[in-house]
Amino acid sequence: MSRPARSRLTWPVAVTSLLPGSRAGVAPAVPHSLRARLLAAIDAARGEILFAQGQPSGPGQHGGSEYTLTYPWYPRPGQQVRMRTLGRGAEGSLFNDAMSIFTMPAGHRVPAMNPVDGQADLTVRGTLIVIYPARHAWGEWPHLSQILGLPVNAAGISHQLATGQFKIIRRAAVNGRQAIELGLTGLNPRMTGLHTTAALIWVDAASYLPLRQVLRFSTGRIEITDFKFFQPTAANLAKLRIVSPPGYHRTRLLPGQRPSK
């Protein structure tokens, strides 16, 4: 199976919109041959770096973006995983830079999709490093229990494909590449409160790797996340290192904590 050459890792990456439109009729199930290609592509790319850039839109959103680097994308039990997430405001300024380092636990089950944010929640114990540009501070907490949202979770996609939870919607172009749009079935339309009402994913028609995910929520919010995969070269792995800028002071307060009076 041919796969496109990996480009050099640079960031940020522009996100272009391709929102799901109306569809008539019943979407066909993913045929066995396509399902096999998708599963093989996921397994072949499990040791690569995943670059995910998300951008919410709709009611209550005020711009900004977030991008996450995950290495390896599809870790095996016992492998060390690094996830670095950077958040930028609508004007482009950096407001958050965080790194989680943990060992993939043995006997790990497939994380279920969180109906609130559409991600797969994984509970691990590891090191958290955070840079706070607005406060000129940084913090590091080893042996910390964390709940992480995995972007385009490889184990979850493999499970959903193997159990027939995806349907083919259509073929379309995403960022100039031919893609196949798949829709996740089984979402609960009667659920109350904030929840995901639609989960769509586009896979590259040549490499069969994810290109884009679109989540729709009960509030009308739409979250678009674009994906790219990169080889773990020394230059690309350097992007997964987090260093405190000169002059920053160390804080003991965890994200979200406030100083006690």
Sequence-ordered list of residues with C-beta below 8 angstroms from that of 129, at least 6 positions apart, any chain: 98, 99, 101, 138, 139, 140, 141, 242
Q: Chain-centre distance of CA 97, in angstroms?
A: 16
pLDDT in tens, 36-55: 999 999 999 999 999 999 86
CA–CA gap between residue 77 and residue 102 (Å, rounded): 11
Bigger pLDDT: 119 vs 205: 205
pLDDT in tens, 53-96: 986 554 455 567 788 999 999 999 899 999 999 988 877 788 88
What average pLDDT does the segment 125-138 reach?
92
Model confidence at 177, in pLDDT bands (50, 70, 90)? very high
Name all domains of the chain by residue range, CATH numbers in brackets: 32-244 (2.50.20.10)
pTM over the 0.85 mark = no
User: Is 8's pLDDT higher than 70?
Assistant: no
CA–CA gap between residue 225 and residue 212 (Å, rounded): 6
Q: What is the pLDDT of residue 134?
A: 86
